[in-house]
Amino acid sequence: MRLCISKYFENLKIREQLFMFLTLNVYFPYCKTVYKGKGKQLHFQELLRFPSGSLGRHTAEFLQKNQLELMNGYEAHDMKHVLFGIPASMEGEVRMQYFEFGNGNRSLPVITVMFFGTLFMPERLCYFIQEYKRGSLAGNLRHIDLKQYAHLSINQLRNQWTIR
């Protein structure tokens, strides 16, 4: 029994390393060339200056907690992690793309992450489907520039867009 459990975790570690390699060396460079981001770039110090409880402040705290840097053009991506309540992890990235797909985003990056995430973590499919359902029940966020809402309360935004 002990051997099976340690073998599973070893396998998971290998899957996570491969997934992260593909994400950092294929997915992000592709997105940076194709996707330029919407609106004005936000900087970390700006996010820290937003009111307590706001989407912007929560995003800064999320970045600090996870020891992440704010990437130019990906500010809204990080805000989605916070708004949807999804962690910054391999599984979290896939869950977020399922949410996005359920919310109407049919872009190539979303579909690619869903495909590879499901391939790498088939045992998590039930959680991915839950995120798809959450996304389909939420208000349509596809064309919203979240950076314009950074000053507003995260709870107010979740209620306004029916994010449960």
| pLDDT tens, position by position, 146-161 | 999 999 999 999 999 9
Matching residue, tokens 């500010």? 75
The pTM score is: 0.84
Q: Grade residue 108 by pLDDT with cuts at 50, 70 and 90.
A: confident
Torsion of CA 90, 82, 61, 152, to 10 degrees: 160
User: SS3 string of 72-91?
Assistant: CCCHHHHHHHHHHCCCCCHH
Q: Which two tokens stand for residue 141?
A: 């966020």
For the segment 9-62, what is each residue's pLDDT rounded down to a tens digit?
Answer: 467 777 778 877 887 787 777 777 776 666 678 899 999 999 999 999 999 999
